[in-house]
Amino acid sequence: MILGGDDYFECPVCNTFVSRPFLLSGNTFKARLYSDGKKDAPMLPEFPAITKCPNCYHIYWLNANTKCEKQNSEQIPNAEFLSAFDLQRAIDEGLASNRENDIYLRQRILWTINDRFRYGFSLFNDYETRVLWDSNQLRLLAILDENQLNEKILIAEICRNMGAFSKSRDLISSIEHNDLDWVKAAFIENIDKRNKNVFEIKLL
Ligand SMILES: [Zn+2]
């Protein structure tokens, strides 16, 4: 993995800067893939696409509109990933301006809550997280499109999370890509075990 340096962004409300590294090259060595679509690739890390200003807590996309010139100060903090509740706040504040952004934010709510289980804790640590999880799952089911392969797999994952195992199995079984047989086999195995939790999809 070769880091290329940092990009800089400016809060549109208070003009505080944050930085975000970018990669010149990376690879998927030791990458792990999970049933919720998250990839943990130590040599190909993901950086935030949306963040919260460390000064005024305004949430904004790190994009061409907020990108600024290189800053020379050493004091500029890294852009942080949003918590599940801040991701929901972003949606509430109208930052999911199109379908793609809406799915991005909602899949990250799913990933962020799943991270607790993924890294060895109980899935929910409080009632509010459970409520957020449930409403996010229902909203994802409403906006995802079964005709898009990646979205179909995510629908199957959400059905499995909800305990709708036969619906999940039907969706997975209907995938007709031979190169996804290993993904299908992993889902079927977990559906048969009545496992609702996120799992790692191991390469066969
Ligand atoms: Zn700010």
Residue 72: pLDDT band by 50, 70, 90 thresholds?
confident
What is the rounded CA–CA span in Å between residue 120 and residue 135?
Answer: 24
Please report the pLDDT score of residue 102 as a whole number: 97
Determine the distance separating the centroid of ligand 1 and the alpha carbon of 11, expressed in angstroms.
5
In the block, which residue shows the tokens 């977990």?
A: 190
Cα angle at 28 between 110 and 1, to 5 degrees? 110
Classify the phi-psi angles of 30: left when phi > 0, otherwise alpha if psi is within -120 to 50, otherwise beta: left
Residue 71: pLDDT band by 50, 70, 90 thresholds?
confident
> What proportion of the chain, given as a percentage, has pLDDT over 90?
88
Determine the distance separating the centroid of ligand 1 and the alpha carbon of 8, expressed in angstroms.
14
Burial (Cβ within 10 Å: 0-12, 13-18, ≥19) of residue 52: buried
* Average pLDDT for the chain: 95
DSSP symbol at 100: H
Determine the distance separating the centroid of ligand 1 and the alpha carbon of 98, expressed in angstroms.
24
Q: How far is CA 192 from the centre of its chain?
A: 26
Query: Which tens digits make up the pLDDT trace of 91-111?
Result: 999 999 999 999 999 999 999
Please report the pLDDT score of residue 169 as a whole number: 98
Question: Exposure pattern of 154-163 as b/e (b: 16+ CB <10 Å)?
Answer: bbbbbbbbee
Average pLDDT in the 31-41 region? 95
Q: Which residues surround ligand 1, an ion (CB under 5 A)?
A: 11, 13-14, 16, 53, 55-56, 58
User: Could you tell me where the beta strands, DSSP code E, fall in 31-158?
Assistant: 32-34, 39-40, 50-52, 59-61, 67-68
Ranges of each domain in the chain:
2-68, 84-143, 147-204
Determine the distance separating the centroid of ligand 1 and the alpha carbon of 63, expressed in angstroms.
15
87 pLDDT more than 90: yes
Question: What angle, rounded to 10 degrees, do the helices at 165-173 and 181-192 form?
Answer: 160
Determine the distance separating the centroid of ligand 1 and the alpha carbon of 10, expressed in angstroms.
8
16 pLDDT more than 80: yes
Among 23-27, 55-59, 97-101, 165-169, which is the least confidently predicted range? 23-27
Do the beta carbons of residue 137 and residue 162 sit within 8 Å?
Answer: yes
Average pLDDT in the 71-82 region? 90
What is the rounded CA–CA span in Å between residue 35 and residue 53?
Answer: 31
Report how far apart, in Å, the C-alpha atoms of 155 and of each of 63, 110, 145, 167 are: 28, 12, 8, 9
189 pLDDT more than 80: yes
Q: How many residues are listed for the chain in this entry?
A: 204
Please report the pLDDT score of residue 204 as a whole number: 59
Residue 121: pLDDT band by 50, 70, 90 thresholds?
very high
Determine the distance separating the centroid of ligand 1 and the alpha carbon of 22, expressed in angstroms.
22
Burial (Cβ within 10 Å: 0-12, 13-18, ≥19) of residue 100: exposed
Average pLDDT in the 143-171 region? 97
